[in-house]
Amino acid sequence: MIRGTTKTIVGAALIAAGAIGSAQAGGLERSSQDFDILFEPGTRIESGVTFVMPQRKLRNIRGSAVGTATGGINPRTGRPYKTSVDEAVDYAVPKFSAKVDLNDDLACAAQYREPIGIHTDVGTDTAAMYVAIEQEITSRDYGLNCSYRFVAGEKGYFRILGGVSYQEVEGYQSRFLPRGFPDNPLGRLEGFRTGYLNVEDKSWGWRLGAAYEIPEYALRASVVYQSRVKYNLEGTITGLFSQTVPVIPVEGEAEVPDSVEVKFQTGIAPNWLAFGSVKWTNWSIVKDIPFYNTAAGLIPVGARITGLDLYYQDGWTISGGVAHKLNDQWSVASSLTWDRATTTGLTSQTDVWTLGLGTVYSPNERFEVRLAGVVGLLTSGTMDNRRTSGLAGYVADFDDDFVGALSISAKLKF
């Protein structure tokens, strides 16, 4: 048995797996609401942040019809287009949880997460700028999760898990537009310029699940369904027609996909814990996100102005690892994760392999600090977005690239 030895072991497992989750590249996912803190007794507050450093570099950029039409000379610099560029941008993923036991069996936690996001910036040195210079999606999720447990057997418990979230999302894209494209409503020839898209919306999501646990053996199995979140994005496009229509109000619909995650952990020997998870995310519902004009004028209401073409496939994430308690204050854990590519050839989001190492220091029963590091491999491939981006599209290769992450969090029990 491992009675009384599981606190820091489980904490080490969670920090190792959590840091890896933030470093994955499946679709737009960065983090999600979770129920782990609800299994821990007492009132607790946890806060932390994960810093992620992806090193994706596009190489041998070619095939752009606009690049050919400009004679291979970049109109911004007057020099030939460069053929390689660092695409990814470092980012941080914060989180916060506050949990309270309402009685012996009912517990709830308020949580803050940033579930989806992406940030790429290729600058204006390559022909990739005609598809997008910089793209950034940010989100904020304010959630409430609850757990109610029933006695199930001599030592076990069955739990019903559920929660709701209020989410905010913002999207930004800048794009270098070639001379004369698109056609000006008044027939005026527009020169080379930069267009900007800014959209945002707010929405609600929910989740429902169940779990079985035997605390004495650190055994826990859970399954949670996370709902889709639908957005009616509204915002503006500027710079498209610099003189005649300086600002174009637009709207479009988008969905964050639903998902199912199964987690399992168990004590396997005194002071040892094994854990794993499988998650399916319905990214294939994210295809074309068009934006339409909403104001009467030179451009007809309902005319498509631009769009984001992703055409993802479903994501699968499989993770497993072990944790070990060294003494009453220290535990360590290691985990390995495979995240299946969501790209269908339009983006550079290929398979990701990550190795996480985590440790927990708990000087007393009320306080603990968790630290984890991740090293990973963004696998190689080729992207070709010409079938969706038309004359602006291009082809690019990328080698196996490095991704690293560092996560730190602290927890206080009252």
pTM across the whole model: 0.92
In a domain, 171, yes or no: yes
Do residues 266 and 217 touch, judged by C-beta distance below 8 A?
Answer: yes
- Residue 34 is part of which domain span? 7-413
- Domain-located, residue 1: no
Q: How many residues are present in the chain? A: 414
Residue 368 within a domain: yes
The number of distinct structural domains making up the chain is 1
User: CA-CA distance, 339 to 316, in Å (whole number)?
Assistant: 6
In sequence order, which residues have a C-beta less than 8 Å from that of residue 361 and are 6 or more positions away? 329, 330, 368, 369, 371
Q: Is residue 166 part of a domain?
A: yes
Is residue 132 included in any domain, yes or no? Answer: yes
Distance, in Å, from the CA atom of 20 to the CA atom of 26, rounded to the nearest integer, reads: 12
Which CATH number is 126's domain given? 2.40.160.60
Contact 26, 340 (CB under 8 A): yes
**Position 198 in a domain:** yes
Q: Taking the CA atoms of the chain, what radius of gyration do you get in angstroms? A: 24
- pLDDT (tens, 9 = 90+) of the chain, 414 residues, equals 444 445 567 666 666 666 665 665 577 888 888 899 999 989 999 999 999 999 999 999 999 999 999 999 999 999 999 999 999 999 999 999 999 999 999 999 999 999 999 999 999 999 999 999 999 999 999 999 999 999 998 899 999 999 999 999 999 999 999 988 888 887 788 889 999 999 999 999 999 999 999 998 989 999 999 999 999 999 999 998 877 788 999 999 999 999 999 999 999 988 899 999 999 999 999 998 999 999 988 889 999 998 888 899 999 999 999 999 998 899 999 999 999 989 999 999 999 999 999 899 999 889 999 999 999 999 999 999 999 998 999 999 999 999 999 999 999 998
**Residues 304 and 263 sit within 8 Å (Cβ to Cβ):** no
CA-wise closest residue to 297 among 235, 244, 239: 244
> Closest by alpha carbon to 23, among 413, 352, 358?
352
C-alpha distances in Å from residue 362, one per residue of 11, 40, 44, 284: 10, 15, 14, 42
Strands of 310-362, DSSP E: 315-325, 330-339, 352-361
H/E stretch holding 295: none
Is 2 inside a domain boundary? no
What is the C-alpha to C-alpha distance for residues 130 and 128, in angstroms, rounded to an integer? 5
